[in-house]
Structure 1
């Protein structure tokens, strides 16, 4: 819907309105329909608007309370705003527009930010300034669908929807965070840390209150903390048909809520169960639907065939977006610029290609199917960790018989790992046959230490009332909700907003999150079928063969790796990580032998050249061919 940005001078110096306008220029793609700023004493804030609800000027921001003491700049959609509006009217709230922004402002003013934000069902990031208290509140939705960042430097706090806008302020330095980059290389992704020094991502489900130079972080939603294990236990006693009926009611209501728009909307329909089911349900409410799918050239197992079957069955139009190597290399640097970070997901480039096509066709909203795998148990590694713990429990039953041989086992490191129960509890997803795990010493040095601690805590909480196997299944899904999904939906937003397209994610409606995470494992993994309850619902809307085919996802053909790594020679990565001249040839050869490593290091190199060398996307595309 929008991009927001602003800053506070903590030394009391008058804020310069020209600076906030410079910051907003870097967010123009997020809101080309209207731009506005507000300056008062030492604070300046502004926004860029993408008109989705209430296309009139009444929807323009800032929204200001009647007494003039509360100022709001807001990005996103709160889907239950009509219900909230009625409640607020009973408490004295008065409204002039038909958009959700005014309801958000009224709730923040009447109820206070801490209470209000817990009532918002939607995706949002906002900046709310209370003139009476001289407090700035920054807030973000439960799952982080809408991004928001801030930084403190030289007596200034700046915030923005995208990191690049922070550097529109001349007092904010642009420096790489080598600790974060090291974590990225070792772990393949960033764990809620940014690759820029002193730039922080406001975590999902979090409010930040800033008064003078005092910062208070208030976590109003944390899935690991807020999950109710008793509800999962009780869910195991509920009839499966009852759960199915509840799911279908919720799905229908959530999709209907996400269709609220005064601007044209379309669907990302890959042919997988999740996006196809969302499209099928939406068809019940909107007969004329346009769907899109990426057609990656050279990939034998792409999604186009399945998407065609799904859309023909549902009765919706499907447009394929062809992507070849030229498209891939043309978009890659642009993707890096809009993502603000090196890439984990290779499909980010295909996602941007689809967004580009959607924009050309005149749409402003794109519904996607993210979130179902994490909430309803769709990834194969959930099955793997469940089976692993079933085997571990059997082995542990024999533990007492092998204690006399413990000394011998300790010498055989891998066998020790199979029987050391304390070690397994500390590493609930540990696979002794895989090298892809974190050693204890890494906790102190890289970002993944946070992940390891989080895994241990949630597994312990669950296993007090659930079996170890079920606990591991759910704990792994929560970890993916935090990290895998967190990375995916943040990328989603930025790829779409690069072309002024709003992403919507019906599966991440508050109601479905609460329902899905509290389902028992038997509703997610039944007789070898993953995502079993959701698939039962899908049987009523989609072809049976489509539902039970092997999951594909966005793939990248081998031909897409036919790019040059010459950029690494004498580039940012070489400089930051101090590659020795006599070792560089071997380093580059090793990188060439691993396609994913090659992609990630090249992404980091492109990121460095764009943000620190000020190189243009078009020039970098040319260099990728060399």
Structure 2
């Protein structure tokens, strides 16, 4: 864009967080189905109470660790304890909202404002400044935030569709095929990183984390099987090689290509 002389860009960041556009927000709604009618008839009140107290500490499905509550809490306690406990705080503050599924859905949207969105905005700020481009976020105007935060769940997620109200408005201005297009994130192909787990052998990450040999073998096997884990582990290894090992980006690129080629 900068090369084409475009100096100001508009981005849609904040729309998913404010209007319920992420699939894990929908999953948070479904997480509380046992308390819905008539499903709660099949569980005793005592059982639901016990389950509620356990689930209250991890009430939302998030993108971290594949959305499994136990794994997610381990990750968050290690990396950001305040964010981990923020889930329960938000859920408790939304106590007047019923049913519990709506409460969890709206809470997840609010939690994403404090967590996921912060990462996106930080990344955008750095990228835009590096390219000398001004990046504006019209959805994050204060009055629009206040309006969207107070919307009931039915205006955000309805008929198995996220961002329901936003899309209804967009239909008046944008072609329907664009409004109804399938959500498509910026995902990295599994084939792109296949084989890069070999970089964890004798790397910086093993020494930094003081992993025993058996753990290194297990983590390398995990990275081989699971793309998300591979991206995180290899990414940390490359970060350490760059900033602790003094290797150049060119050298790291060559190492990545060599690992992929060897795996093939």
TM range (shorter): 0.7 to 0.9
The DSSP-based 3-state class of the residue aligned with 1:526 is: coil
- Give 1:530 shift: 1.7
Alignment of 1:233-272 (within 5 A): none
Call closer, same or farther: CA 1:478–1:501 in 2, change over 3 Å.
same
1:454 aligned partner: 86
Q: Aligned equivalents of 2:73 and 2:117: distance in 1?
A: 27
- Give 1:421 shift: 2.6
State the TM-score, normalized to the length of structure 2: 0.82
- Give 1:511 shift: 2.0
Asked if 1 retains the 8 angstrom alpha-carbon contact of 2:194 and 2:224, the reply is no
Q: CA RMSD in A?
A: 3.0
In proportion to residue count, which structure has more strand? 1
1:420 aligned partner: 51
The DSSP-based 3-state class of the residue aligned with 2:36 is: helix
Q: 2:211 matched to 1:579?
A: yes
Specify which structure has the bigger relative contact order, considering alpha-carbon pairs within 8 angstroms and separated by 6 or more residues: 2
1:269 aligned partner: none
Q: 2:108 matched to 1:470?
A: no
Name which of 245, 248, 257 aligns with 1:625: 257
1:484 aligned partner: 116
Name which of 4, 7, 14 aligns with 1:371: 14
Q: 2:17 matched to 1:362?
A: no
Q: Aligned equivalents of 2:72 and 2:25: distance in 1?
A: 23
2:200 aligned partner: 568
1:212 aligned partner: none
Instruction: Extract unaligned runs of 5+ from structure 1.
Output: 1-357, 404-415
Asked if 2 retains the 8 angstrom alpha-carbon contact of 1:438 and 1:448, the reply is no
In proportion to residue count, which structure has more helix? 2
Q: Aligned equivalents of 1:539 and 1:562: distance in 2?
A: 41
Call closer, same or farther: CA 1:590–1:524 in 2, change over 3 Å.
closer
- Number of residues paired by the alignment? 254
The DSSP-based 3-state class of the residue aligned with 1:360 is: coil
The DSSP-based 3-state class of the residue aligned with 1:361 is: coil
2:27 aligned partner: 384
Asked if 2 retains the 8 angstrom alpha-carbon contact of 1:396 and 1:419, the reply is no
Q: Deviations over 1:425-455 (max 9, x none)?
A: 3332269xx8711479859952354233211
Asked if 2 retains the 8 angstrom alpha-carbon contact of 1:443 and 1:450, the reply is no
Q: Deviations over 1:192-220 (max 9, x none)?
A: xxxxxxxxxxxxxxxxxxxxxxxxxxxxx
2:247 aligned partner: 615
For the pair shown, the structure with the greater C-alpha radius of gyration is 1
Asked if 2 retains the 8 angstrom alpha-carbon contact of 1:366 and 1:502, the reply is yes
- Give 1:386 shift: 2.1
Name which of 57, 60, 71 aligns with 1:429: 60
The DSSP-based 3-state class of the residue aligned with 2:2 is: helix
State the TM-score, normalized to the length of structure 1: 0.37
- Give 1:496 shift: 2.5
Q: 2:227 matched to 1:595?
A: yes
